[in-house]
Structure 1
Amino acid sequence: MKEFMDLDRNIKLRALTVFLTVLLGSSIGPNMTIYYVQHFGSFWTGILLIIVSIVGLMFGLYGGHISDVIGRKRTIEYGQIAMFVGYGVAMFNNTPWYVNPYVTFIGFLLAMVGSSLADPAEQAMMIDSSTPENRRFVFSLIYWILNIGVMIGAAIGGWFFRDYLFELLLFMTIVPVINYCIVRFGMTETLIRSENVQTTSIMSALKSYWAVLSDHRYFTFAMGSVLASVIYLQPDYYLAAHLSQTFNDYSLWGMEIYGQRMLSLMLVMNTILIIATMGFVTKATAKWNLVRAMALGLFLQGGGFALSFLLQDFWPLVVTTIIFTTGEMISVPASQTLRADMMNPDKIGAYSGVFAVTRPLGSVIAGAFVSISVVLGNYGIAALLMVLVFVAIYLIARATHMTAPF
């Protein structure tokens, strides 16, 4: 508790905004795919989701740039306003007496624009407000709060989404207003103005990102992070396919556990373990070397998933869940701290924007695992994943030993 009370005010308030955003976002976001399939069909739903991803990627990059120009606070405020308008549009088009899925999509697209604009600025403010000494604790804390929000939000969505979508969207419209007020009146600007004058133009943004990509150390770290995200994303891709096809049904307390339920159970266990033991793991690894912690964490996480690809029974998969969750708790704070330490203080927003690209790129590779599994099989995919684990560790470790260009 003392560590938390000693944190900068911005970080404390950020913990609250993260919880509120993730709580309601997790109750609606994952279920919108089902909503779109019901109204547009599977083919067009896939197209719409691709559009959302591309728009999110573009505005995430732009948000990272303008947070270095106009400031973190203003960028976050603009993002919250866009989210308010977007969710408001979606809400008014999903009333008990009127439903328009086409305008609903536009509303959610606008909300994605706002979220993507704000995210790099929020990440930059976190780094600005923390110190090298408390940064690992800060990232662990936010990660812990995020998991609590996801768990509660997923439960709310599963229970209320179908029959109370309008009410959920109403609350989603209120959350950006609350967050806007917290940022506007509670947080302080953390951007230290650079002597290099920049503008909010697209050309200025491209120049800013070219400078980031010219930082070979950070570029190497980002490439390693792309591969690390492939590991983290496996539950959404090959692990889901593997369990749905090969899991041996199991009876637990009279309830039938089949492939899809086993995946859900593993994810629930993952979240509960993080919530229950994250504090202990953070304290136990507080004095560890960051690179070694990251390497061990990625090895355990990747190894846990690779073993899961080779198993088909309930209890062995429970053990692998404990293994990859332990690795996740060790690697995530360490890698985020390393990332923050590598950023040019004058361009933290742009650096955060570049890092936002790593997850979409990782999802493309993770999706390819499902396709090539037809040729490689379970053992081949498990071996390929471990190759990526070692390459990711090598790239991230190599980046930490390169000379900073600033």
Structure 2
Amino acid sequence: MKFSQFPSNVKLRIICGFFDHAASMSVMPFMVLYIADELGKVTSGILLSVNVVFSLICNLCGGYFADRFSRKGQLVAGQLLFAMIMILMTLFIHPAINMPWIVSLLFMFTAISGAMIFPALEALIIDSTAEEMRKSVYVMSYWANNLATAIGTAIGGLFYKDHRVLLFMFIVLIMLVNTAIFQRYLIDPTVHKARKVVEAHWVRDLLSSYKVALKDTRFVVFTSAMIFVFSAEFALTNYIGVRLHNVFKPIDLFGIHVDGVRMMSILLIENTLLVVTITFLIAKLTEHRNQVYVLLMGTFLYTAGYGLAHHLTTWYLLMLVIFLATVGELMQTPIISVFQAKLMPEDKRASYIAFSSLGYSGAGLVASSGLIIGVVLNSIMMSLYVIIMGLIGMLLFYLAVHTRIFKQPIPE
């Protein structure tokens, strides 16, 4: 399905999301460096760990309110809140003021705006699309997000150090323009639905709402599979990056001196460039294949590639396994999104989307733990550990999308 055939909500999501994501990626990755430089690595590590938990709690609340109230209203409010936070960060990060503790606190508060935006927007997209078009939508959205990541990171690398304040002001402008566009043109298909009357306190109702998701065994198994599988890629900037920094022997590659840190950067650039250039080719090649088997094959290539990267130190072998991992990523990611949407009840989509964020948060925590486990295990054992985790994830995906062993049926 072509972009021109997508519903207007989807077009807005992809176009505005592209600029939002590029703007965020021009600053957010570098904020970790700012906090570490200003407050120290130990303090920054503690703050970032707290931020993971805080973000998860915010996401759960955001998903609940997006199901209870207007999704469009929550989305617009979240965009405005993010713009306000960025204005305050611009002020307190200015060299003449520079108050790192306040900046760090504001950085943590972006989790609140993100939790208001993400579940509401993703639920709106599912509400606005028929199942047969969702894979095309997710492929296009995935491609656009990765292109935005590459552009945003490049802009941040060029301007963050010397033109930080200007960069923050640019982000605020983009957020305000996108907010105005969403307010004017985004259609909320659920706005005329009768809202459920809840007599219980909202906290009790929130917990009962996610209790429904926890009882949905099939969806819990699917989310658990995401934790096992995605932790492999998240390790690239954790265990793999640290190991390359320590053991990679510097080489001259095409006239460029490449050490361990630069090798990790090359692998990240390779991953992004492959996503931008071959996403639609992989989608075309797998379009008429059995989607369950494409998912399983993609998961195998993904985890095997990143698993081997835990042990290899030869530059061309590292680039080869990251190529295989990226192909696997392109095979599995749109299908994971499609199956995830199928497994969500229509009246609780935002709550389920927020609950599924456990998959990413859990994967991040598992990947971070690899640094601790790596002290005990050697690189071969770490490689086997990651591959075994991936195989467990494959099995859980298979059980969740292809079997009838759960009480909850697979939606047709």
Runs of 4+ in 1 over 4 A off after TM superposition: none
Distance in 1, Cα, partners of 2:116 & 2:407: 31
Distance in 1, Cα, partners of 2:147 & 2:24: 13
Q: Is the 8 A contact 2:306 2:325 kept in 1?
A: yes
Deviation of the 1:120 alpha carbon: 1.0
Distance in 1, Cα, partners of 2:50 & 2:175: 23
Counterpart of 1:379?
Answer: 380
> Quick check: 1:64 aligned with 2:68?
no
Counterpart of 1:404?
Answer: 408
2:184 aligned partner, one-letter code: F
- The structure-2 alpha-carbon separation of the partners of 1:376 and 1:38, relative to structure 1 and needing over 3 Å to count, comes to closer
2:259 aligned partner, one-letter code: Y
The TM-score with structure 2 as length reference comes to 0.94
- Paired residues for 1:351-362 under 5 Å: 351-362=352-363
Deviation of the 1:99 alpha carbon: 2.1
- The structure-2 alpha-carbon separation of the partners of 1:95 and 1:317, relative to structure 1 and needing over 3 Å to count, comes to same
- Paired residues for 1:309-320 under 5 Å: 309-320=310-321
Deviation of the 1:194 alpha carbon: 5.8
Counterpart of 1:83?
Answer: 82
Distance in 1, Cα, partners of 2:38 & 2:240: 28
Name whichever of 243-252 and 82-91 sits farther off: 243-252
Name whichever of 45-54 and 323-332 sits farther off: 45-54
Could you list the runs of 5+ residues in structure 2 that have no partner in the other structure? none
Counterpart of 1:197?
Answer: 197
- Deviation by residue 1:36-93 (Cα, 9 ceiling, x = unmatched): 1222111221222223222211111111011111122011112112101111111122
Deviation of the 1:198 alpha carbon: 4.0
- Deviation by residue 1:364-394 (Cα, 9 ceiling, x = unmatched): 2112222222322111111111111111111
Name whichever of 344-353 and 114-123 sits farther off: 114-123
Distance in 2, Cα, partners of 1:84 & 1:198: 32
Deviation of the 1:285 alpha carbon: 0.9
Indicate the SS of the match to 1:197: coil
Counterpart of 1:335?
Answer: 336
Counterpart of 2:274?
Answer: 273
Deviation of the 1:231 alpha carbon: 1.7
Q: Is the 8 A contact 1:221 1:396 kept in 2?
A: yes
1:386 aligned partner, one-letter code: I
Indicate the SS of the match to 2:2: helix
**Aligned sequence identity (%):** 25
Distance in 2, Cα, partners of 1:349 & 1:403: 22
Deviation of the 1:220 alpha carbon: 1.0
Distance in 2, Cα, partners of 1:216 & 1:180: 37
Counterpart of 1:257?
Answer: 258
- Deviation by residue 1:142-173 (Cα, 9 ceiling, x = unmatched): 11001111101111111110111101111121
Deviation of the 1:103 alpha carbon: 2.3
2:10 aligned partner, one-letter code: I
Indicate the SS of the match to 2:252: strand
Distance in 1, Cα, partners of 2:195 & 2:407: 23
Deviation of the 1:321 alpha carbon: 1.6
Indicate the SS of the match to 1:288: coil
Deviation of the 1:396 alpha carbon: 1.4
Q: Is the 8 A contact 1:89 1:103 kept in 2?
A: no
Counterpart of 1:14?
Answer: 13
Name whichever of 92-101 and 355-364 sits farther off: 92-101
Could you list the runs of 5+ residues in structure 1 that have no partner in the other structure? none
Indicate the SS of the match to 1:256: strand
Q: Is the 8 A contact 1:88 1:169 kept in 2?
A: yes
Deviation of the 1:124 alpha carbon: 0.9
Q: Is the 8 A contact 2:311 2:382 kept in 1?
A: no
Indicate the SS of the match to 2:27: helix
Q: Is the 8 A contact 2:80 2:179 kept in 1?
A: yes
Q: Is the 8 A contact 1:86 1:109 kept in 2?
A: no
Indicate the SS of the match to 2:131: coil
Q: Is the 8 A contact 1:85 1:110 kept in 2?
A: no
Indicate the SS of the match to 2:122: helix
Distance in 2, Cα, partners of 1:176 & 1:260: 33
- Root-mean-square deviation (CA), in Å? 1.7
Counterpart of 1:368?
Answer: 369
1:404 aligned partner, one-letter code: Q
Q: Is the 8 A contact 2:233 2:306 kept in 1?
A: no
Distance in 2, Cα, partners of 1:221 & 1:379: 28
Counterpart of 1:171?
Answer: 170
